[in-house]
Amino acid sequence: MKSLKTDDVMKKGIILVFATMLCCACCGPKTNTAVYLDDSKPLEQRVEDALRRLTLEEKVALCHAQSKFSSPGVPRLGIPELWMNDGPFGVRAEILYNSWEVAGNNNDSCTAFPALTALASAWDPSLAARYGKALGEEARYRKKDVQLAPGVNICRTPLNGRNFEYMGEDPYLVARLAVPYIQEIQKNGVAVCVKHYAVNNQEQWRDSVDVEVSDRALREIYLPAFKAAVQEGGAWSLMGSYNLFRGEHCCHNDLLLNKILKEEWGFDGAVVSDWGGIHDTRQAALNGADIEMGTNKPYDEYYMADAMAELFRSGEVPMEVLDDKVRRVLRLNMRTAMNRNRPWGSFNSPEHTALAREVAEQGIVLLKNEGNLLPLNTEKFRSVAVIGENATRVHAGGGGAAKVKARYEITPLEGIRTRFGDKVKVNHAMGYCSYTPLADRVIPEPYDNAELKKEAVAVAAASDVVLFIGGLNHNRYQDSEAFDRASYELPYGQEELLEAILDVNENVVLVLVSGTAVDLSFAGGIPAIVQGWYGGSEAGNALAAVLAGDVNPSGKLPFSFPAQLEDCGAHAFGPEAYPGIDLKEVYKDDILVGYRWYDTKGIEPLYAFGHGLSYTSFAYGKPKTDKSFYAKDGTVKLSFDVTNTGPVDGAEISQVYVSQSKASVMRPVKELKGFAKIFLRAGETRRVEIELPVSEWAFWDEAGAGWVVEPGEFVLHVGAASDDIRHSVSVDVK
């Protein structure tokens, strides 16, 4: 018995020892998590911890691509790769890892949001924020880390093939829309990559044209939206442009990237090259490039790969230069791919579809409406002819980098038939063909344009009203990356076709599907003209809603329509100013871009910046300011009443322009410095209040290399468009 008890005690002791050991193992000190992996640590502390762990080879690898749309991480340390994605209107279809061929997936059809020209025409920062939020959600769901958007370049000429990717001719408007777009995308843990920095305003010779522009025009016109994107939007990455500026490619340009972007503006993100935009290893190392993408070489032969590593290994370029690049890439990675707390996103949701339609509706601009032909009266018009190739053409899958694989795209004809089909007879004719054979192949034209024209005229004659859905498309030399437009005129014989239609039916509504201005000098006899843009997935439904009057159009133009191309400042000085001579281009229009040029030179545009009609009318009360004298760092509080004096509810975009009565330098007649969009019931009056910081009235002083607000009288102009000023009020700055 005694021995049994002893055995029991021994067993219990052994069990107790093991239990104690287990407890110590479970409750003892844990292995410390590396600082760079610890989400609770400050970002900069994590970046520095990761940086000190990297070899030279790993640092350099972070600075160049590993596939068409990704750059490497550091597998040894668990730092993931970065996945990038076009574009500004949706999440691009997946392509093969090391090829531009589409992967052929069946789960990458996205919501196609309207082009940014449509968003800009809504003049609504809150709508821009919702657009950015939805785009960020779609990118996040598709596991993208960097969305190559938005484009904030200035529309200097209507011939630029990528105008449809941008937000107009005025830097203030572009900035006010870009900032909320950027902020909301990045709340999804997806970085924006603001593009294309800078003075990238044409596609012709885009890889090699050397742009010369004054410091003043650079600062007042071409950089403000980028500056706002960085300092207000908090952009996490930025893309250099293809062109040269003052002899250096913009993707490794010391003035633009080092001195202005990083030193002056305090940008802490990564500079990503445009695809194939790096041309020199030493310049890329020293002049501010951080990630090289798209160079047509094996990845280890990129300019910022093995060749750059040798510069640092030999000491020819100091190691701190490389470390600065790597810090920026790590910072970008920790904000996106390494951010374990970012949301999951959503894809093709009903909310995204509804938003795409809302943006398309709010962006449509009613340019002309003689005799109130619109909205269509289905009691008066019992048959409608829908004519034009763009009535049935889809556009989301074209245009270059901006193309997306849309889950669906409602064409104008589909939208019109859905909305009007049970009330009127809808007749359809193609009218013209936009077939453009490739230069190296002879292919029979699939349509006879003469027969198409004959058919269309017959359909027009047999109908009460004609809806001509024309404009441009994403073919070469139209609205397309890599090509500027060949002509300002409407292509494919549309002008002649419209004139023939007017001969048999005077009730014509011209709907322009385009991303830029077109020549409408022939269109005096057309009673109604609508700028419809590229409207995305819900384009046809949005257009039909406006034509029917279900939605009262409220869009305003984000750029001017010159009556003739030569009226535009970029085209007023011959080829030296556009597209350049011997790959040298001088922006002789200087600060007078868009309405600034027309106002200052006394040239009347066909349709002015800010122009847009409604199915109702609005009256403006006289503006008042809170006081008459302001300091240079003060803020003017401007207020005025707007009344809906027409028969239907609608939204009005009120615009405030500022001019300086006397200045020591040439200044434009006026410049946009504020706007507000309000919705008013028929007969309703509302007070509009806009705050105008006086500091934003400054000009760039080239002699002093800084911003200057000169004391004196300033005039604030309140109006419905740049050429429709209703009232003005003067204030003094002391």
Say if CB 511 and CB 471 are below 8 A apart. Answer: yes
pLDDT band at 447 (very low <50, low <70, confident <90, very high): confident
Cα 649 to Cα 682: distance, rounded to the nearest angstrom: 5
pLDDT band at 87 (very low <50, low <70, confident <90, very high): confident
Cα 168 to Cα 505: distance, rounded to the nearest angstrom: 34
Burial class (CB in 10 A: 0-12, 13-18, 19+), 544: buried
- For 582-626, what is each residue's pLDDT tens digit? 999 999 999 999 999 999 999 999 999 999 999 999 999 999 999
Where would I find the H helices in 404-530? 412-420, 449-461, 494-504
Burial class (CB in 10 A: 0-12, 13-18, 19+), 258: middle
What does the chain come to in residues? 734
Burial class (CB in 10 A: 0-12, 13-18, 19+), 370: exposed
Residue of 274, 290, 567, 590 marked active site: 274
Cα 484 to Cα 615: distance, rounded to the nearest angstrom: 35
- For 560-569, what is each residue's pLDDT tens digit? 999 999 999 9
- For 645-677, what is each residue's pLDDT tens digit? 999 999 999 999 999 989 999 999 999 999 999
Question: What would you report as the CA-atom Rg of the chain, rounded to the nearest whole angstrom?
Answer: 29
Cα 145 to Cα 124: distance, rounded to the nearest angstrom: 27
Q: What is the mean pLDDT of residues 180-190?
A: 98
Selection from 651, 134, 550 nearest residue 355 by Cα: 134
Tally of CA atoms within 13 A in the half-sphere of 659 that contains its CB: 16
pLDDT band at 27 (very low <50, low <70, confident <90, very high): very low
pLDDT of the residue at 537: 98
Spatial neighbors of 224 by CB under 8 A, at least 6 apart, are 171, 172, 174, 175
- For 482-520, what is each residue's pLDDT tens digit? 999 999 999 999 999 999 999 999 999 999 999 999 999
pLDDT of the residue at 436: 63
Cα 134 to Cα 351: distance, rounded to the nearest angstrom: 8
pTM, full prediction: 0.94
pLDDT of the residue at 446: 75
Selection from 252, 161, 225 nearest residue 474 by Cα: 161
Which strand (E) or helix (H) includes residue 570? Answer: none
- Could you tell me whether strands 624-625 and 629-630 are parallel, antiparallel, or unpaired per DSSP bridges? unpaired
Angstrom CA distances, 33 to 36, 41, 54, 301, 592, stand at 8, 11, 17, 36, 57
Query: By percentage, how much of the chain surpasses pLDDT 90?
Result: 93
Q: Is residue 369 pLDDT above 90, yes or no?
A: yes
Q: What is the mean pLDDT of residues 281-289?
A: 98
* Phi and psi at residue 720, to the nearest 5°: -95, -10
Cα 652 to Cα 683: distance, rounded to the nearest angstrom: 13
Burial class (CB in 10 A: 0-12, 13-18, 19+), 317: middle
Q: Is residue 16 pLDDT above 50, yes or no?
A: no
Angstrom CA distances, 637 to 628, 694, 698, stand at 10, 10, 18
567 carries an active-site annotation: no
pLDDT of the residue at 7: 45
Average pLDDT, the chain: 94
pLDDT band at 443 (very low <50, low <70, confident <90, very high): low
Q: Is residue 1 pLDDT above 80, yes or no?
A: no
Q: How many CB atoms lie within 10 A of CB 16?
A: 10
Cα 63 to Cα 332: distance, rounded to the nearest angstrom: 12
Tally of CA atoms within 13 A in the half-sphere of 86 that contains its CB: 22
Q: Is residue 17 pLDDT above 50, yes or no?
A: no
- For 466-481, what is each residue's pLDDT tens digit? 999 999 999 999 999 9
Burial class (CB in 10 A: 0-12, 13-18, 19+), 2: exposed
Selection from 247, 309, 259, 250 nearest residue 277 by Cα: 250
707/1: higher pLDDT: 707
DSSP E strands in 88-180: the ranges are 146-147
